[in-house]
Structure 1
Amino acid sequence: MDKENFTYSFNLIEADVWKFANVETVIYENKFVPTLEGGSICKRTSIYHIKGDGEINKDKIKDVHGKKTEGLLKAVEAYFMANPNV
């Protein structure tokens, strides 16, 4: 976590959801960028490490990734709405 630059990253090393895609690990890098309107935009980069010579189903990853990201952002939004001074 880098509080000065509003960034954080984490590694997902094991999850049932990735078994379909031959994914060994995923690194998520998140950056919150302020907007002129006083809000912020979250930019996320996902780096996938694939097992061996395996291939991934990009459409399936986009579907699962989108749902997980939406859930995370809703949780972050709820926290900030409940704690506006943070």
Structure 2
Amino acid sequence: MNKSKPIVYQSLSIPGQQTATTGQSIDPVTRDFVTQTIPVTNLSVNPQATSFNGNSIYNIIKQIGMQAEYSLLDVEKQIIMLPPLQK
């Protein structure tokens, strides 16, 4: 059985959030309180990829092959055990 390239599970999420921050300061020239609202946007990118899965897919394929081989041997055993046909 040839080994094929491993299957890689990938995902990508891009969550975001937008808020407004309000703050006060004193204008140094007029000495008045100045209120400002500043919009804030937060974005992030979260890539995910499985780099190693313990060869589970390869092992599953190998197990299926072994089960098929065992089934074939079982059929051959039953054929050998059949009584001969009587005429």
Superposed pair shares fold, TM > 0.5: no
TM-score, normalization: structure 2?
A: 0.31
Select the structure that is richer in helix: 1
TM-score, normalization: structure 1?
A: 0.31
Ranked by relative contact order (alpha carbons within 8 Å, sequence separation 6 or more), the top structure is 2
Highest CA radius of gyration, 1 or 2? 2
